[in-house]
Amino acid sequence: MYLNSYLLFLAAAAGINIAKADFMVYTELPIPTSAIPSFANSVDAAAWTTSVALNARVAFRSFTAALGEPYQSSSSSAASEIAAFVSTASNYSIPATVTESGTATFYGVPTWYSALPSGARAFKEQQVEDQFSIVRQVIAARQTTSSSSGGASIPTAAPFLDKKFGALAAAAAAVFLTTNGAWQKPAVIFSPGAGKNAITYSTLSSELASQGYTVLALDHPGEAPYLQLPNGAPGVYGIDVAATWNYISMAAVYNMRIFDTLAIIRKLLPSYVESIGAPFNTTHYFAIGRSLGGAAAAGALAVEPSILGGVNLDGLFIDLPDVKKPFLMLAGAQHTPALDVSWSPFSANQSGWYHWLNVTGTSHQDFSDLGDWVDLQGLRNKTITPSLGLIWAPRMDFIVKTLVESFLSFVLGGQEFLDAPNENLPEVGYINGSACIP
């Protein structure tokens, strides 16, 4: 099962960008059975295979991108030959999976394969050869690390990928490994809105934790009107709830948020994890925030190499850095090019992958748990609900978690990002974004 899934993973990485008539033919397994380490836990075996697949997919994408125009020209030529063959070769019993959208995968040579134009065959065979070569180099470039179950060593390709394909690919190679060898996704640093406690974002934080991410939802003592400490000590009072926030105060808090995030990543979390032996990833992170916390997520992403990508949930940007890494901008109705003074210039500054999506029927507090407190208690239209839109809170929870989880998976080399328009998310509209891959 792991090997078949792996081949599908590679096929997706190799797919030609056309709507129809694409396939991959594999006559052998890229990972010989003898090369798979012996693990005491079958989950670790699956994770080992997934890690190799992730590394190889990132490397293959970088490899083909580095080939530039000659590769793209050969790809387009092969696609045209395959499409023409499929449309005319009615007597070869070509299965529907080849003629429909997507990349069909065959484990063995189909009967019609030899009748393909020679140029198309040569290109597809070269794709497979390049894939297999990269896979074997990934396995050979392993680092000796003990697995969490005490089984065999876990291969990673960071040195190989860093040398051949750059820092981002090297980062992707290690996203499942912690410093003590346990398998874990990157940690998520969540920064709340200005003057808010992290507990007001428990819906999203707990959802991400349930998907295997270590979530650090940051509180900032002295900023929120009151912060209850978890150890039973007296709480900490902060900025009065009725205080007026201006640009000066927001900029000061913005800078403090970035410093707090960097302190967590560079010192506090690694030392804490080492002291208690927790299986948390302390080498790779995502930065997510709502409102001012979303702006801080961008600021931290721009200066911290270990953060792989970031998300701004409905936050005015304080600074306009080019973060140079994948960034998702998810906003309410007020963040449009006509109404917002920061989102358009921020997006214009980006050189990496980014998407700006708006959710209709929403207002600022819909990106927190406030809507749940109202709707799940039946208090809609029965209480004062500032900055809540018309959208039903549980539906908003689903939209946010779906898009955020899709983005994180996308950055890690998994499925393509769940873009808009999407029939399952009719409330989500596309404003603008980049065309590049992370």
Tokens of 186: 């990157």
Give the other-Cβ count within 10 Å of 4's Cβ: 12
The C-alpha torsion from 410 through 282 and 49 to 95, rounded to 10°, is: 0
Residue type for 74, please? S
Q: How far is CA 405 from CA 75, 99, 188, 438, in A?
A: 31, 31, 11, 16
- Interacting residues of 165 by C-beta distance below 8 A, sequence separation 6+: 58, 59, 62, 63, 66
Give the other-Cβ count within 10 Å of 95's Cβ: 13
Coil vs helix vs strand at 422:
coil
Name residue, tokens 């948020």.
257
Alpha helices in 31-157 (DSSP H): 42-67, 69-88, 96-99, 118-140
pLDDT higher than threshold 60 for residue 224:
yes
Q: How confident is the model at residue 161 (pLDDT cuts 50, 70, 90)?
A: very low
pLDDT higher than threshold 90 for residue 21:
no
Q: Over the stretch 166-188, which tens digit does the pLDDT of each residue have?
A: 344 334 444 444 444 445 789 99
For 108, what's the count of Cα atoms within 13 Å in the CB-facing half-sphere? Answer: 2
Highest mean pLDDT among 2-11, 214-223, 293-302, 359-368: 293-302
Name residue, tokens 């995502």.
286
Name residue, tokens 């060898």.
181
Measured in whole angstroms, how far is the alpha carbon of residue 100 from the centre of its chain? 28
Q: What is the pLDDT of residue 407?
A: 92
Neighbour-count burial of 231, counting CB atoms closer than 10 A to its CB (0-12 exposed, 13-18 middle, 19+ buried) = exposed
Higher pLDDT, 252 or 95: 252
- Interacting residues of 239 by C-beta distance below 8 A, sequence separation 6+: 195, 222, 223, 224, 225
For 123-149, b/e burial (b = at least 16 CB within 10 A) is bbeebbebbbebbbbbbebbeebebbb
Q: What is the pLDDT of residue 361?
A: 84
Distinct helix (H) and strand (E) counts, the chain: 14, 11
Higher pLDDT, 18 or 129: 129
Q: How confident is the model at residue 72 (pLDDT cuts 50, 70, 90)?
A: confident
Q: What is the pLDDT of residue 82?
A: 82
Do 139 and 107 form a contact (C-beta atoms < 8 A)? Answer: no
Q: What is the pLDDT of residue 242?
A: 81
Q: What is the pLDDT of residue 354?
A: 93
* C-alpha–C-alpha distance, residues 80 and 119, integer Å: 10
- Interacting residues of 76 by C-beta distance below 8 A, sequence separation 6+: none
Q: How confident is the model at residue 380 (pLDDT cuts 50, 70, 90)?
A: confident
Q: What share of the chain is helix, strand, coil (3-state, %, to 5)?
A: 45, 10, 40
The mean pLDDT of 30-41, rounded to a whole number, is 65
pLDDT higher than threshold 60 for residue 32:
yes
Tokens of 145: 């690390």
Higher pLDDT, 214 or 96: 214
pLDDT higher than threshold 50 for residue 108:
yes
What pairs with residue 428 in β-bridges? 359
For 262-281, b/e burial (b = at least 16 CB within 10 A) is bebbeeebeeebeeeeeebb
C-alpha closest to that of 225 among 240, 246, 244: 240
Parallel, antiparallel, or unpaired: how do β-strands 226-227 and 236-237 relate? antiparallel
**pTM recorded for the entire structure:** 0.60
Beta strands in 137-276 (DSSP E): 187-191, 215-217, 226-227, 236-237
Q: Which CATH superfamily is domain 187-433 in?
A: Alpha/Beta hydrolase fold, catalytic domain (3.40.50.1820)
The mean pLDDT of 52-78, rounded to a whole number, is 76
For 266, what's the count of Cα atoms within 13 Å in the CB-facing half-sphere? Answer: 10
pLDDT higher than threshold 90 for residue 299:
yes
Count of all residues that appear for the chain in the document: 438
Q: What is the pLDDT of residue 298?
A: 96
Q: Over the stretch 303-320, which tens digit does the pLDDT of each residue have?
A: 999 999 999 998 889 999
Beta strands in 353-427 (DSSP E): 354-359
The residues of the chain that CATH labels 3.40.50.1820 are: 187-433
Q: How confident is the model at residue 435 (pLDDT cuts 50, 70, 90)?
A: low
Q: What is the pLDDT of residue 97?
A: 62
The mean pLDDT of 26-36, rounded to a whole number, is 69
Q: How confident is the model at residue 297 (pLDDT cuts 50, 70, 90)?
A: very high
pLDDT higher than threshold 50 for residue 329:
yes
Q: Over the stretch 330-372, which tens digit does the pLDDT of each residue have?
A: 988 777 777 778 888 999 999 889 999 999 888 888 888 888 8
* C-alpha–C-alpha distance, residues 155 and 317, integer Å: 40
Q: What is the mean pLDDT of the chain?
A: 76
Q: How confident is the model at residue 58 (pLDDT cuts 50, 70, 90)?
A: low
The mean pLDDT of 117-137, rounded to a whole number, is 84
DSSP 414: -
Q: What is the pLDDT of residue 24?
A: 78
End-to-end CA gap in the chain: 28
Q: What is the pLDDT of residue 151?
A: 35
